[in-house]
């Protein structure tokens, strides 16, 4: 979502982007209407979710699944659908 | 400088020669062809140092202009009819990227049936593309508008593309005497081109044309709204400056015998000239009539229209194009401009001259007579065999 404080006149004219690497600032996670949540009691760290995630939004540390990168997760639900242990559930978010 | 005989197309090419743009990318199409043909001779003869690109289509020609203007070059092109239609997608991109491109259009009917002669269907169709549109009445105006267009388009508060229109064949191919400025005067008037955030400034890299999602697109469209809303005073100011060096002054809408008139007809392009002759003849008969030339169509001059027409008994809007299932395109805009005034005239529409159908003095007189007697419909068709 664009900064709600910024007005039309605050943006460079003509849709020009005048700073390099600005895509990093654009968090596409707010397109989401449902978010994945993991139950680590059931998770076996098979990393199937990491393999399937189309948006590189499953966080892995030292070979273990540790959660989601919600700044870019769009809530597609593929991780939940593919998890062999049903450890991931999708929760409704927002309106 | 001695007056020279030129047709409207040659006059535009001559203006471009004096301006010496960095890039011209074009594809030939009647009745515009003479413009790029004459200009390509200037290039071949070394009279300009323009990069002249013969594109493989009009879509490519406008794409090249967009690339050149975004790169930081003073850029212009010319087209007509199907050529303009083929540029459609790129017209919107040129305007939304806020690129100062000047384009001459020799107005011609759209196919089909195929026809190469004058009407305004081509540029009226491009009405909503975000370009400033200025109509010229004759070769002199073709020349003058071409020079002013660069200043308008490149103005730092605008940066909008500008279309300069002339009537195909009627103006593009008719030889007229016209007064030209000296090369130095034109150069001084136009000034140096000032690129804004050009792509070729590799020390300050920018991206042109990125994807604009729903949370930004509307803001960028509003920037175009704001830019257009700033255009009218800038067009007026540049015309005033131009009058100082040329002795020729141009209004946004030009009134002829309108002040004490009861009945007024409005037209854009060469017909505005014919209307003045008609007004002279009717005035000699003692009729209180006047005429209005719509020079600037985008942005639409609501205020000027109201100022000229409030309190008149009748107004006839002459449209040289049509929106099937509705009316001519200028008619609803004139009506809308006058909707809020206290003394609203009766306003009727005349569709005329499609596909180069000549419009005669007698026919235009009948427009006034019928306004006076009330024997006309809301939408009327002039000179067609019904």
What is the ipTM for the molecules in this complex? 0.84
Determine the residue of chain B that is closest to A9 in CA distance.
Answer: B223
Q: What is the pLDDT of residue B174?
A: 97
Say whether pLDDT at B225 is over 80.
yes
How does the average pLDDT of chain B come out, rounded? 97
Mark whether B224 and B267 lie in a shared domain: no
Is A14 close to B208, i.e. CB distance below 8 A? yes
Q: What is the pLDDT of residue B124?
A: 98
Q: Which of B197, B216, B223 sits opposite A18 (nearest CB)?
A: B197
- What is the domain-level CATH number for residue B360? 3.40.50.920
Mark whether B54 and B154 lie in a shared domain: yes
Is A15 close to B99, i.e. CB distance below 8 A? no
**What mean pLDDT do residues B138-153 have?**
98
Q: Which residues of chain A neighbour B196 with C-beta distances below 8 Å?
A: 13
Say whether pLDDT at B57 is over 70.
yes
Residue B342's CB: how many other CB atoms inside 10 A? 6
Share of chain B above pLDDT 90, in %: 98
Q: What is the pLDDT of residue A4?
A: 77
Mark whether B239 and B270 lie in a shared domain: no
Mark whether B177 and B269 lie in a shared domain: no
Mark whether B39 and B63 lie in a shared domain: yes
Q: What is the pLDDT of residue A1?
A: 56
- What is the domain-level CATH number for residue B175? 3.40.50.970
Across A15-19, B39-43, B143-147, B354-358, least confident range: A15-19
Mark whether B374 and B275 lie in a shared domain: yes
Mark whether B193 and B290 lie in a shared domain: no
**B180, B146 contact by CB (below 8 A):** no
Mark whether B81 and B199 lie in a shared domain: yes
Say whether pLDDT at B329 is over 70.
yes
Mark whether B189 and B257 lie in a shared domain: no
Q: pLDDT for B302-315, tens place per residue?
A: 999 999 999 999 99
Walk along chain A (95 residues) and give the pLDDT tens digit of each residue. Answer: 567 789 999 999 999 999 888 888 888 898 899 999 999 999 999 999 999 999 999 999 999 999 999 999 999 999 999 999 999 999 998 76
Determine the residue of chain B that is closest to A19 in CA distance.
Answer: B206
Q: What is the pLDDT of residue A21?
A: 86
Q: In total, how many domains does chain B have?
A: 2
Q: How many CB pairs under 8 A join A and B?
A: 52
**What mean pLDDT do residues B48-68 have?**
98
Interface test with A, best of B93, B130, B219 (most A CBs within 10 A): B219
Q: Which of A6, A7, A18 sits opposite B206 (nearest CB)?
A: A18
Mark whether B290 and B228 lie in a shared domain: no
Among B199, B226, B245, residue at a domain's last position: B245
Say whether pLDDT at B151 is over 60.
yes
Determine the residue of chain B that is closest to A28 in CA distance.
Answer: B213
Say whether pLDDT at B88 is over 90.
yes
The nearest CA of chain A is from the CA of B99 a distance in Å of 8
Q: What is the pLDDT of residue B313?
A: 98
Mark whether B99 and B214 lie in a shared domain: yes
Determine the residue of chain A that is closest to B160 in CA distance.
Answer: A14
Q: Does A94 touch chain B (CB under 8 A)?
A: no
Q: What is the pLDDT of residue B229?
A: 98
Say whether pLDDT at B271 is over 90.
yes
Mark whether B271 and B237 lie in a shared domain: no
Say whether pLDDT at B128 is over 60.
yes
- Which domain, by its residues, includes B66? 4-245
Among B212, B227, B245, residue at a domain's last position: B245
Q: Which of B197, B219, B226 sits opposite A16 (nearest CB)?
A: B197
Q: What is the pLDDT of residue A41?
A: 97
Q: What is the pLDDT of residue B134?
A: 98
Share of chain B above pLDDT 70, in %: 100
Q: What is the pLDDT of residue A83?
A: 98
Q: What is the pLDDT of residue B197?
A: 96
Q: What is the pLDDT of residue A2?
A: 65
> Residue A79: which H helix or E strand, with range?
helix A78-82
3-state SS string for chain B = CCCEEECHHHHHHHHHHHHCCCEEEECCCCCCHHHHHHHHHHHHCCCCCCEEEECCCHHHHHHHHHHHHHHCCCEEEEECHHHHHHCHHHHHHHHHCCCCEEEEEEECCCCCCCCCCCCCHHHHHCHHHCCEEEECCCHHHHHHHHHHHHHHHHCCCCCCCEEEEEECCCCCCCCEEECCCCHHHHHHHHCCCCCCCCCCCCCCCCECCCCCCHHHHHHHHHHHHHHHHHHHHHHHHHHHHHHHHHCCCCCCEEEECCCCCCEEEEECCCHHHHHHHHHHHHHHCCCCEEEEEECEEECCCHHHHHHHHCCCCEEEEEECCCCCCCCCCHHHHHHHHHCCCCCCCEEEEEEECHHHCCCCHHHHHHHHHHHHHCCCCCEEEECCCC
Q: What is the pLDDT of residue A5?
A: 87
Q: Does A14 touch chain B (CB under 8 A)?
A: yes
**What mean pLDDT do residues B264-282 have?**
98
Among B245, B262, B279, residue at a domain's last position: B245
């Amino acid at each position: 979502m664009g900064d709600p404080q910024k007005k039309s006149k605050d943006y460079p004219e003509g849709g020009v982007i005048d700073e390099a690497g600005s895509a990093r600032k654009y968090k596409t996670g707010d397109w989401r209407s449902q978010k994945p949540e993991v139950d680590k009691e059931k998770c076996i760290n098979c990393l199937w979710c990491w393999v399937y995630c189309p948006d590189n939004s499953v966080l892995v540390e030292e070979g273990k699944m540790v959660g989601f990168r919600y700044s870019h997760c769009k809530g597609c639900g593929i991780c939940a659908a593919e998890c062999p242990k049903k450890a991931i559930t999708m929760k409704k978010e927002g309106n | 400088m001695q007056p020279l005989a030129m047709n409207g197309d040659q006059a535009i090419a001559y203006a471009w020669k004096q301006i010496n743009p960095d890039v011209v990318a074009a594809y030939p199409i009647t009745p515009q062809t003479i413009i790029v043909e004459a200009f390509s001779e200037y290039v071949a003869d070394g009279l300009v140092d323009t990069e002249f690109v013969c594109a493989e289509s009009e879509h490519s020609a406008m794409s090249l202009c967009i690339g050149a203007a975004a790169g930081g070059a003073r850029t212009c092109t010319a087209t007509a009819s199907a050529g303009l239609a083929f540029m459609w997608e790129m017209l919107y991109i040129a305007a939304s990227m806020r690129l100062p491109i000047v384009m001459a259009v020799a107005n011609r009917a759209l196919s089909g049936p195929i026809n190469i002669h004058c009407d305004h269907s081509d540029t009226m169709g491009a009405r909503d593309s975000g370009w400033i549109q200025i109509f010229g009445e004759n070769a002199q105006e073709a020349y003058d508008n071409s020079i002013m267009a660069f200043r308008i388009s490149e103005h730092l508060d605008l940066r909008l593309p500008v279309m300069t229109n002339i009537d195909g064949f009627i103006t593009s191919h008719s030889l007229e005497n016209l007064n030209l400025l000296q090369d130095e005067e034109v150069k001084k008037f136009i000034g140096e081109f000032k690129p804004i955030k050009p792509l070729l400034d590799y020390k300050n890299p920018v991206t042109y044309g990125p994807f604009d999602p729903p949370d930004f697109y509307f803001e960028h469209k509003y920037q175009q709204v704001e830019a257009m809303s700033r255009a009218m005073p800038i067009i007026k100011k540049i015309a005033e400056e131009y009058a100082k060096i040329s002795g020729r002054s141009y209004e946004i809408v030009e009134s002829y015998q309108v002040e004490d008139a009861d009945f007024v007809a409005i037209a854009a392009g060469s017909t505005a000239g014919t209307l003045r002759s008609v007004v002279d003849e009717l005035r000699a008969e003692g009729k209180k009539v006047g005429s209005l030339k719509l020079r600037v169509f985008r942005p639409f001059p609501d205020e000027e229209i109201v100022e000229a027409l409030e309190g008149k008994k009748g107004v006839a809007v002459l449209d040289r194009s049509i929106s099937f299932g509705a009316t001519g395109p200028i008619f609803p805009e004139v009506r809308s401009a006058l909707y809020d005034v206290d003394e609203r005239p009766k306003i009727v529409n005349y569709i005329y001259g499609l596909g180069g159908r000549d419009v005669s003095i007698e026919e235009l007189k009948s427009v006034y007579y019928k306004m006076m007697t009330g024997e006309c419909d809301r939408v009327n068709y002039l000179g067609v065999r019904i």
